[in-house]
Chains A and B, each alone.
Chain A
Amino acid sequence: MALRPPGLRPRNPAGPAGPSAASSSLSLPSSSLAPRLPAVLAVVVTHDGRRWLGECLRSIDRQIYPVMDVVVVDDCSPAGPGEAPLQSVAGAALGRRRHTVLRTPSTFGFGGAVNWALDRLRPDAELLLFIHDDVALDPDSVELMVRRMCLDPGTAIVGPKVVSWDEPALLEEVGWSTDRFGHGYHGLEEGERDSGQRDRAREVFHVTSTCMLVRRTVFYRLNGWDTKMRAFCEDLDLCWRARLAGHSVEVAPAARVRHVAALTHRFRRVPWGPTRYLLRRNRFRAVAKNSSAVRLLWLVPQLLLLALVEMAGYLVVRQPRAALQVLGALGWNLAALPSILPARRRAQRARKISDGSLRRFTVPASIRMRSFVARRSDRFEGAWGHRMRAVLTGARTPVRIGSRVLPAVALIGLLMALGLRDSLLAPPVSVGELLPFPEGATTMFQAFAQRGSGLGPTGVAPPALLILGVFPVLALGAAALAQKLLVVCLGLTAAVGAYRLTAAWAAEGRAGRFGAYAAALAYTIGPVGYAGLRAGRLGALVFGAAAPYVVGALVRLCGVPLPPRGAPSRSAPVPREMAGIALGCGVSAAFVPASLVLYAVVWSIAVLSGVLLGEGRAAGSRSRPVEVAAAVGGIAAGWGLLLPWSAAWLSPGEPLFRLLEGPASLTYRAAFSGQGAASVLLADLPAGASLMGPTLVIGGVAAVAVTRGPQRKLALFLWACLGAIGLTVALWASGWAPPLVASPVEGGVLAALAWAVLTGLAVGGALEGLSQTGRRAIAAAALLTLLAAFAAASVAPPLVRGAYSPGTVQPKAVGPVDDIAALLGSQVKREGAGKILWVGGQAELGPSLLHPPGYLRLTGAQGPVLSDVFPSGGAGRRVARLVASVEAGGTDRAGRDLAPWDVRFIVVAGSGDAGGDRVGAWLSQRDLAVVRAEPEYLLLANAGVPPGPRP
């Protein structure tokens, strides 16, 4: 609603010097201004603000400034029950002022309502005072603002000092600065008290429409408020346009107003959308209209990037609606371009100063960001805490912070720090699959995106690179920190999952809670954590972290009898459970593809449990076949999430092919020798520290004995899972079926979870039994004592020794990587990075699917890093064929043939029975120069590669 030019007929026949004709007989306090007082028209816009409107109008009435009329614009407020008409409210409050009340036909927003009202009134007052309805002015505010305005003809807008309505000693704003993106910055401390420290009148970038005095002529020249904005940032826009037109905006802190900030504090609704959406939308619009074209060229990409980062951040904290709001704000501006462009043209046409002139009123983004973070941190913590609560309990209803899982997480974190202390403060480890991250925050993403070798496709990039790539980003590119973050996050995720799973199954109350603690402990620092960390089994650790969530969802969907709870999570929607299963399966299978098979085994046992152990379905409950199908559908969806990589699992060189048919399949099978059903049933798969197995077996057996009702059925279900997994492992170990996982550690993840939960159920049941009398209490006490003793004896020594650190199984045996990296460091600096081909010497700590028994490996110049763990598909096979040809004597120009992969150096292991022949074959290559020959390795430089560009 554009503002039309006003009419010229004066509305105040008494003239500027005298009181208004409609004023009451009450005498007004005298003003100290010069004889000719500019007329002020106060425009009060109200919308659902009856609570404060009266006070507001009375404060206006009490103003000592004499020449002021008042317009109350009702922006289509909803009529409250029993509310007096607005005219009577205004009449009662504005006894001494000429006033009128207008009501907009629909809700226009502050700016739109003002424009509409002025368009109807066509005032001729020199000054317009815009006021919100939740503002109360000090008696001299208007006079002081007018005085400020009159001091400088260039001043177009003046604002007061705004303080809190309830606590006038608290400052809210004294003028605003902004950054280049339009974010406001008031420069006040949180909770800053008014001691006169901000009372210097000065020029500012903008003042808010809370209370704003504007020259009428300027206001009309600027075409009034931007009514498209509806709410938020219109004042920024108006002040910005005024500045561009060469006017100044000032703050007169001597003038003080109290403000409720009803909209900000959500004392009233915003009818046009969420605040976040409106703020961003209008901010983008203001920037788009008022920035110069040159500035806009580099501002727009930054704005888009910031918006993307913001959306990503909201997704991380699981607030997708907020992310959608940001996206919506962008989209609105795109759709509103037809209105932005003409408005921009007007603003730019009226421009009299450059953007650079405004720099003194702007703040760098960093300062604003600090202030923003400081202000938002408590809100973020609140949001995160809220989210954590929701995660932990699976409940939509809020739970108090200080949640029950936190002590367990803290204890586990402490124990992890104790057990991993050797590696937490050390450089990144390089053990098994647990290799250092490459330097750079996005290198893993690049490794995912750039899988080519210059010789055509190298196969589909494993999605695990994307999952792992999050950690360097979180660590801001610090590779060492990223690895530690990875390990800690996996451990804590596993702990939380095991706690949550057991807490849902265990008895209610403290007993069940402590049982869940025990399960979390047993799972995290039990066999999987122990064997997985020591051998660097990244796949097993990720599988272990995801397993509790997937198993929990499978159990809920397949009707395994659960203890009755009132929590609404019991009846989570099927699609949500299915999505959870899919996500968990996807994450697991990205590292251990055959985890889907193991989940399917658990699913089948869960279905049987639901049929045989489940109670009758309640009327109106979901159909079981649907849930069962949804569960298996979730597993299939997990496979689908990994497409197209998962579709190629059986292709040569890909994970399952390597297990089933590749030359390394024998090695994988050999890893299961000595294992079998007995290992699973004795909790020795994977092998934990001594006495871990017996501890878990005691807990597992006790779980059946001490539990009752649904807990016992769950214990039986878990035992059935152990039986099924034991049979599966027996088939793999015996050779009747090829193993689908690379190592016993991965194969034992679900078994370890079952043992941990059984132990938790046993602890919970025993604790419940303590409250009984007689033999049951004695037995419970004995069981708890036995479990505690065994647990302490099994876990304490390795923790104290720090034996959980990767590489404590045996010293890392992938070759003298450090020596070579140091030797090559200077050469890399001279000649460029290139790659290193490692041949032989892969003394694996057991075979691994991610890090196959890898006769050869292609790494960067800094040695094996995590992105090298994942085989490179077709190119890798070509390299393997070439290496085979070299070692079979089929070529003596390996350097030239390795040049397409930018292989600058070759490290040949010289140890072992085959070492001598291998070394001889590489020494016969005519285009490889010997750099260093040691008993353990031979380092060759590739003379067949032209020197690369210097780094």
Chain B
Amino acid sequence: MRIVHLKEAFFVSLTLALAASGLAVDMRSRRPASAGVEAATSTGPGARFLERSVFCPGARGRRVSRTLSVHTSHSQEVRVAARPWNESPAPVDGKMLWLPGADRQAVNVVGSGARVTAASVVGWPQSSRAGGRDAAAPGGAGASGCSPVASDRWYFPLGASSAGWDERIMILNPFPDEAVARVTFAAERGPKAGDTHEVAVPARKSVQVEINRMTLPVLSLAATVTVRRGRVVAWKTVFLSHGPKRSPHRLANLKGRLRADEPATGGALFSLGATDTSAQWYFPDAGAGPGRSTTLALMNPAGEPATATVSLLGRRAIAQPPGLVDVTVPAGGSTFIPLKAPEARRGRVRSFSAVVASTGGVELVAERSMSYSTDELRGVASEIGATVPSRRWSLAPAATRPDADDVIVLNPGPQDAVVDLEVFRPSRRGLTPSRLQGLVVEAGSRRTIAVARGGRAPSVVVVRSSAPVVAERRAYSPGYRDVASVMGEPLPLGTD
């Protein structure tokens, strides 16, 4: 009996020990209640890159040439298909694929295995006057990046609907459902009420909208493409008439007077729209002076006025001319700002970069156009600015056989940047010429780097920098007598 009681007592002790142990464990460790909740939003295991497209614009017009350049910065084999031309993926040998003479419809460049960047280089022959709508195209060359995203809105700050200015917006719907896009305009005084046009864009098709047919002639007109349904990609093409100085192309003179140093030149502007506003916009390439002019177009899609300050960064000179400080952009409106060469200790700085910064807390969209009429360069070019500096940039070719092919690097940061350029030509591995290595771009300064001269084969240039910079490329096509520019595409670090 005593043993029985002892056993029972031992069992009770064991029970109490178990309970006490549990309570002790409770007391010693307390886990935060929120731990692990994030797992519920996890995207799951093993995300990997399969394939993604970039959307490249088509090119309309008789005898228009359109070439695509495709590049990847990944070292493993990547295959690219350009649909609907070519459904079968081809390896991106030498990390650059050059697709000349391709069809002129919009194309999905699909990269399998890694992301690719692509750009479209288009040339419109000047003498194409065979009738029809496109016969009015005066000719020129342009380059534009292909878009990796479709969006529900696109901004085009720079535009007009005046004579001599033939602006067209191409809207591509790469999705299987129909999109309905709405084009609205904004002038200097604000949005143009009542001037709204809806365009149905069929599935996997593109439409071209001619701005001159949509609204009354206005010298400065920003356009916005929004979608009521679906998602689209939008590019803008502008044909400027070549001709006498009385050409309506008076980007630099909103008051109607022609300046003596204004180049009266035509050409084609070709650019991809902006999908979002930003507080900062960087334009590495700008200039003013004999034979060149630069105009900034600022657009404020917000419902309240915006103010912006434009800084001009030259080589060893930074200027904020009073006229460029706290420039007001009305709500829903746009404004054009001609840039003058800033004064520096050693005289006027003809080549500079422009940085647009919103100062009122309201974000803007900025586009820059340049007009050239020098011995080396002729024509017009425009680009939406870059919003964020980066340490790596991919720069697509801006021309097929450029006479002058330059990369302009802007270093807006506080420390000097050392840049190296790697050049990728079709079917060849990347080249790192010594002259393009170790180039210093001083803080707050810019540098123009000549990549090629004399009609070399097109190439993709990858810029690597020790500090965040902004890079742009400019090239002159003698065949089209037009200059074209294309903003670089930032690359994530460590992709090789």
Contact = CB atoms under 8 A, between A and B. Distances in A.
Contacts of A930: 175, 177, 229-230
A762 B35 CA distance: 40
Interface string A661-686: 01111111110111011101100000
B38 A890 contact: no
A883 B45 CA distance: 9
A546 interface: no
B401 to A, nearest CB: 33
A23 interface: no
A355 interface: no
Interface string A894-937: 01010000000000000011100000000110111110000000
A720 B22 CA distance: 12
Interface in A667-713: 667-670, 672-674, 676-678, 680-681, 713
Interface string B286-319: 0000000000000000000000000000000000
A664 B46 CA distance: 14
A731 interface: yes
A139 interface: no
Contacts of B11: 608-609, 612-613, 716, 720
A700 B149 CA distance: 65
B19 interface: yes
A929 B10 CA distance: 71
A733 interface: yes
Of the listed residues B30, B46, B47, the one surrounded by the most CB atoms of chain A closer than 10 A to its CB is B47
Given A613-B7, A926-B108, A928-B176, A667 B37 contact: yes
B247 to A, nearest CB: 41
Contact of A670 (B35, B48, B150): B35
Given A608-B14, A883-B44, A887-B47, A853 B39 contact: yes
Nearest to A844: B40
Interface string A857-901: 000000000000000000001001111110111111101010000
Contacts of A262: none
A674 B26 CA distance: 9
Interface string B93-110: 000000000000000101
Contacts of A884: 43-48
A716 B8 contact: yes
B44 A929 contact: no
A840 interface: yes
A893 B51 contact: yes
Interface string B5-30: 00110111011111101110110111
Interface stretch (A183-191, A270-278, A481-489, A722-730): A722-730
Interface string A834-858: 0000001010100100000101100
Contact of A885 (B35, B50, B177, B231): B50
A670 B44 contact: no
Nearest to B42: A663
B436 to A, nearest CB: 31
A678 B52 CA distance: 53
A730 B48 contact: no
A719 interface: yes
A849 to B, nearest CB: 14
Of the listed residues B30, B35, B39, the one surrounded by the most CB atoms of chain A closer than 10 A to its CB is B39
Contacts of B231: 923-924
Interface in B401-446: none
A736 interface: yes
B359 to A, nearest CB: 28
A69 B424 CA distance: 121
A929 B176 contact: yes
A926 B147 CA distance: 13
B175 A926 contact: yes
Nearest to B150: A924
A662 B23 CA distance: 29
A580 B387 CA distance: 71
Contact of B38 (A666, A713, A724): A666
B53 interface: yes
Nearest to B7: A612
A677 B7 contact: no
B36 A670 contact: yes
A663 B229 CA distance: 36
B35 A666 contact: yes
A734 interface: yes
Contacts of B50: 882, 885, 890-891, 893, 897
Given A612-B11, A881-B45, A678 B23 contact: yes
Contacts of B37: 666-667, 670
B159 interface: no
Given A669-B35, A723-B18, A727-B18, A677 B26 contact: yes
Interface residues of B, number: 54
Nearest to B50: A891
B33 interface: yes
Contacts of B17: 723
B75 interface: no
A881 B47 CA distance: 5
Given A676-B25, A727-B22, A670 B42 contact: no
B347 interface: no
Contacts of B33: 670, 673-674
Contacts of A882: 50
B35 to A, nearest CB: 5
Contacts of A888: 43, 47, 49
Contact of B29 (A713, A719, A736, A923): A736
A892 B110 CA distance: 9
Contacts of A612: 7-8, 10-11, 14
A734 B31 contact: yes
B149 A924 contact: yes
B41 interface: yes
A680 B230 CA distance: 54
Contacts of A923: 150, 231
A943 B204 CA distance: 12
B39 to A, nearest CB: 4
Given A608-B14, A670-B33, A719-B15, A880 B45 contact: yes
A731 B42 contact: no
A724 to B, nearest CB: 5
Contact of A681 (B19, B108, B177): B19
Interface in A13-43: none
A7 interface: no
B174 interface: yes
A614 to B, nearest CB: 9
B31 A730 contact: no
Contacts of B25: 676-677, 727, 730-731, 734, 736
A69 to B, nearest CB: 84
Contact of B44 (A668, A722, A726, A880): A880
A743 to B, nearest CB: 13
Interface in B108-156: 108, 110, 149-150
A735 interface: yes
Of the listed residues A678, A730, A731, the one surrounded by the most CB atoms of chain B closer than 10 A to its CB is A730
A253 to B, nearest CB: 78
A116 B30 CA distance: 91
B179 to A, nearest CB: 10
A893 B42 CA distance: 21
Contacts of A678: 22-23, 26
A891 B114 CA distance: 10
Given A665-B36, A722-B19, A913-B41, 6 more contacts: A612-B14, A666-B36, A677-B23, A716-B15, A885-B47, A893-B50
The 5 closest A-B pairs by CB, nearest first: A677-B22, A666-B36, A723-B18, A734-B29, A670-B36
6 contacts: A664-B40, A716-B15, A847-B40, A887-B43, A890-B52, A893-B53
Interface of A: 608-609, 612-613, 662-670, 672-674, 676-678, 680-681, 713, 716, 719-720, 722-724, 726-731, 733-736, 840, 842, 844, 847, 853, 855-856, 877, 880-885, 887-893, 895, 897, 912-914, 923-924, 926-930, 941, 943
